[in-house]
Amino acid sequence: MHLIVKPDGLAKLGSIDDTVRRSNFKVNSVHHIQDWNETGKAIYRPQINESKDFARAADVYFSISQELFGKEALMYWLSGNEEQPVADLRELFNLKLEIRSKLKTINDKGLVLLADTTRLPGVEIQGTSGKVLIGYKQILPFDREGSWVYFFFKYVHSCDPDAELYAHETRVLRDARVFEAKYSDKELQSIKRGLISPRLR
């Protein structure tokens, strides 16, 4: 099963890698994701189709993420107890939450980004104009009108504990040929130390 380190999480790969390797999962291999925007949108397609709010947030996330961090990401291919795949997915979901809890800016929302979707290229879904809404409370008026949304980076992705959703995400990763782009141990160590880009040489 897969755990994805998103582009915004690569700077924290050392901490994430340590947590993954101390977990109950075995790291079989680590792989390069060349275009997280394309792959991520395909992974989240069921949620995007189901919810306009999710679609709007995803639109903004992918636009901002690419602008700040680029499109490259990384995937851990893990194994647990193959006799209980749904239980493994639950444990992987908890591992994802553990990783996020160790990253302070996520745990206490110390870093929150505000974006005006009217000024983001490729983002066409409009929202509330003229003010920022967080938690359904107006906390900050703006001088200029805009369609504002707030979000924070979550660094890692794992599938929710749902067998059908897991099958969908695995198909997406195989179609994107992620499993063919494997890192060597030396390359992974260099990425953790910030010595090379995640891009495979």
| 55 and 91 in a common domain | yes
Which of 106-110, 154-158, 184-188 is predicted least confidently? 106-110
Give the pLDDT confidence of 89-131 residue by residue, as tens digits. 999 999 999 999 888 655 555 667 777 777 766 555 444 444 4
| 35 and 10 in a common domain | yes
Q: How many domains does the chain have?
A: 2
Percent of the chain with pLDDT over 70: 76
Let me know if 8 is exposed, middle or buried by CB neighbors in 10 A (0-12, 13-18, 19+). Answer: buried
Q: What is the predicted pLDDT for the residue at 153?
A: 82
In a domain? residue 54: yes
pTM above 0.85, yes or no: no
| 177 and 130 in a common domain | no
| 141 and 119 in a common domain | yes
Give the pLDDT confidence of 66-79 residue by residue, as tens digits. 888 999 999 999 99
In a domain? residue 135: yes
- Report CA 71 to chain centroid distance, whole Å: 11
| 137 and 81 in a common domain | no
* Residue span of the structural domain in which 138 resides: 112-151
| 16 and 46 in a common domain | yes
